[in-house]
Amino acid sequence: MNRYRPTRSKSRFTAFPLVFFVLILCFGILFTGCTSTMISIKGPDDVGAQQDITFTEQDVARFERLAKEGDAMVAQHSATGASSVAGSQGTLAQSTASLPVLDLSMVKTYDALRSAPAETNINLYRVTNDILKVRQQPSASSTLLDILTNGEGLTVNEFTNGEWARVTLPDGRRGYVAARYISKVTTDERLADDQKASKGLYYVSYQFVNVRQAPDQKSAKLGQIPGKAFVRPKSIAGPWATVEFQGKDGYVSLDYLTRFTPRFLVRQNAYPLPILVYHLSQPGMLDLLVQHVNRLRQAGAHILSLRDFASFVLNQEHRTDLRLDAKSVVIVVEDVTPDNIRKVTDTLYANNIRATVFLQTQHVSLAGITEKMLLTMQADGIDVESAAHTGDDLRSLTNAQGKLEVEQSRKILEDALKRPVVAIAYPQGGTNERVTQLTQKSGYLFALTEAPAGSFMRDQFLHLPGYAITSGMSAEDAVKLLR
């Protein structure tokens, strides 16, 4: 089906005939000018005629401009109380062209999943409450700057007292948040050091606490420490803590102090997970894949797809003690075409192999890889993910072309499979900072390169390494990659 053909409204307009005529004229000129063959999309209507509808980055810009103009006209039309479009569903916006509309609701969640404490940001925290209000000052009545949601990240500059933390948001803004609703992101290896930072730190858990000259309630009062203020006792003896106050020692009752213990989110940061990539452009790779998987199973390997790994990472957010099974490995199949799709499906299903298959969505059509085939693969436990649309090297494309490649591919697969697409394989295994940003903004959790490595860090989820299997690799060679 042609997903990006402008829709035709059957409704008859009773207002703005001239505007409607101008829009129709613009679309006529637009489609006449679409002559580039950089990206082609075929749908059911194209099977007989064998004609391609093509889009260039200039076309995309024109689509967006016209869509915005149409939305503005509809808003003006409603605001002025002019006659509405005839028909219950007809709107002026329906006559504009459709661009891929992606669900980007998981982008912030995926960004948080990829975040990891680094030497340059050892104070990375995550929101642990449903919502977290960011205020201009450390007061519940202060101006509200923003509202964060569960899982979002922020940097803690300092805890100003036992109740408030001064923070920096990802966009650089600064404010204050309630300390009890955030947790520090750390790892098993760094937890002990992180806990030392707050060792022996207390805060006043009442409106104030009196500082006395001696450890006795009847002793002379030197002053007061306000509520929520931090106190680090020099020593503790029984119910009294010795503190420094105005340059000399004083005593406060422990009954009015509470130990300050920041919350920690202990996350796995390193993943020993080799990803084996089988390119079907090499002859005999499906047979080799079966041989390798059989031997890997004998060696105790746990076979995963990238979707399995995505579910695991999401579950780790709620159960931080979860760890991958020993000798886990991901199986990936690339270069899948309409000519080999049935053999791929039959082979994986017959051998009960959980694998991720990356598809170029230019092949998805009634004359190629049909939606029924995709649904069958999904029902058989095969993970279908994106290899972009045409397979062109994303590094060689403009921003507009690259954006269309990765977003269009995700949209086509999600419409067919009725579930989210979580991974993309960079065409030819290549990426750069610009391409990675396009991928991140398009709502992918993972992106696969072909840099050979058997493990990776959390912040490499958009640069996953993969072993490109060659026809000369034996089953024993595959087993060695587990170690």
Domain count across the chain: 4
Q: What is the reported pLDDT for 225?
A: 97
For residue range 417-464, what is the model confidence (pLDDT) as tens digits?
999 999 999 999 899 999 999 999 999 999 999 899 999 999 999 999
In percent, the amount of the chain with pLDDT more than 70 equals 78
**Is 104 inside a domain boundary?**
no
Instruction: For residue 24, give the 3-state DSSP assignment.
Output: helix
Q: What is the reported pLDDT for 61?
A: 55
Q: What is the reported pLDDT for 296?
A: 98
Q: What is the reported pLDDT for 85?
A: 30
Q: What is the reported pLDDT for 59?
A: 52
pLDDT averaged over the chain? 83
Nearest 10 degrees: CA dihedral of 439, 441, 443, 448?
A: 20
Residues 140 and 209 in one domain: no
> Looking at the predicted structure, is the pLDDT value of residue 26 above 80?
no
Q: What is the reported pLDDT for 72?
A: 46
Q: What is the reported pLDDT for 230?
A: 97
Residues 284 and 346 in one domain: yes
Q: What is the reported pLDDT for 58?
A: 57
For residue range 42-70, what is the model confidence (pLDDT) as tens digits?
333 343 333 333 445 555 555 455 445 44
Cβ atoms of 263 and 182 within 8 Å: the answer is yes
CA-to-CA distance for 193 and 186, rounded, in angstroms?
10
Give the tokens for residue 144: 């509200």
Q: What is the reported pLDDT for 99?
A: 57
Residues 405 and 339 in one domain: yes
**Is 6 inside a domain boundary?**
no
The residue segments making up the domain with residue 314 are 270-480
**Is 3 inside a domain boundary?**
no
List alpha helices for 120-235, DSSP H.
191-196
Residues 240 and 366 in one domain: no
CA-to-CA distance for 367 and 353, rounded, in angstroms?
27
In percent, the amount of the chain with pLDDT more than 90 equals 68
> Looking at the predicted structure, is the pLDDT value of residue 2 above 70?
no
**Is 81 inside a domain boundary?**
yes
**Is 234 inside a domain boundary?**
yes
Mean pLDDT of 85-105: 50
Domain stops at, among 154, 181, 196: 196
Query: Which of 423, 407, 395 is CA-nearest to residue 313?
Result: 423
* DSSP for residue 219: S
Q: What is the reported pLDDT for 54?
A: 45
Q: Whose structure tokens read 């707050």?
A: 198
Q: Whose structure tokens read 């004998």?
A: 298
For residue range 278-329, what is the model confidence (pLDDT) as tens digits?
999 999 999 999 999 999 999 999 999 999 999 999 999 888 788 999 899 9
CATH code for position 366: 3.20.20.370
Domain stops at, among 260, 280, 305: 260
**Is 101 inside a domain boundary?**
no
Q: Which amino acid, one-letter code, is at 221?
A: K
Cβ atoms of 191 and 219 within 8 Å: the answer is no
Residues 80 and 174 in one domain: no
**Is 87 inside a domain boundary?**
yes
Residues 302 and 442 in one domain: yes
Strands (E), 372-465: 383-386, 423-425, 446-448, 456-457
Domain stops at, among 95, 129, 144: 95
**Is 12 inside a domain boundary?**
no
State pTM to two decimals.
Answer: 0.68
For residue range 394-423, what is the model confidence (pLDDT) as tens digits?
999 999 999 999 999 999 999 999 999 999
Residues 176 and 242 in one domain: no
* DSSP for residue 34: -
Residues 275 and 251 in one domain: no
Residues 162 and 242 in one domain: no
Residues 306 and 171 in one domain: no
- Evaluated on CA atoms 7, 8, 10, 11, the torsion sign reads positive
Mean pLDDT of 172-199: 91
Lowest mean pLDDT: which of 73-87, 214-228, 266-280?
A: 73-87
Q: What is the reported pLDDT for 317?
A: 85
Residues 154 and 299 in one domain: no
Residues 322 and 466 in one domain: yes
CATH code for position 219: 2.30.30.40
Q: What is the reported pLDDT for 293?
A: 98
